[in-house]
Amino acid sequence: MIFAYARISTEAQNFDLQLDAFKKENIDPKNIYIDISSGAKEKRKGLDELLTRLKKGDVLLVWKIDRIARSTIHLAQLMEEFNTKGIDFKSIQEPFLDTGSSQGKFIFTMFSAISQLERDIIIERTNAGLEAAKLRGRVGGRPGGLTKKAEVKAKLVAYMYQQK
């Protein structure tokens, strides 16, 4: 079965372009899932529901990959999930991204490698920054205990509680 996913960021936008493209692909309207949400949000009702419906042999179609994934890492995670479940993924605007073809699988593998590189670089940069801060005597995390202002407020609250 072929499913489609469309997303817009705000209600000021509309789905027309994406839905017209799905219509040209003869997608059954009941198999189209939509969200009005920032792509940066991890939880999206339409996408979450769609992901629970997909099963082996299904195809997921998007107008463009930025409509489904919030980052390269997120795209790679979705692609890995689709690959594991036997779900093909296609993008109308990026025809090279069709995991039902040899070339599409190759592109997917390249995206996964780039995603892993991106994760590793972020970890290296974070660790280097923490080490540099430590050498300068700075320690990460929240400061221990209450601030002076919070301490005064806590004493006042305790006093007021005791006085009813």
Give the residue numbers marked as catalytic: 9
Q: Name the nearest CA neighbour of 94 among 9, 42, 21.
A: 21
Q: Say how many C-beta atoms besides its own lie within 10 A of residue 157's C-beta.
A: 10
d(CA 40, CA 18): 19
| Contact partners, residue 56, CB within 8 Å, separation at least 6 | 85, 86, 87
151's CB contacts (< 8 A; 6+ apart) are none
Q: CA 100 to CA 145: how far, in whole Å?
A: 57
Distance, first Cα to last Cα, the chain: 67
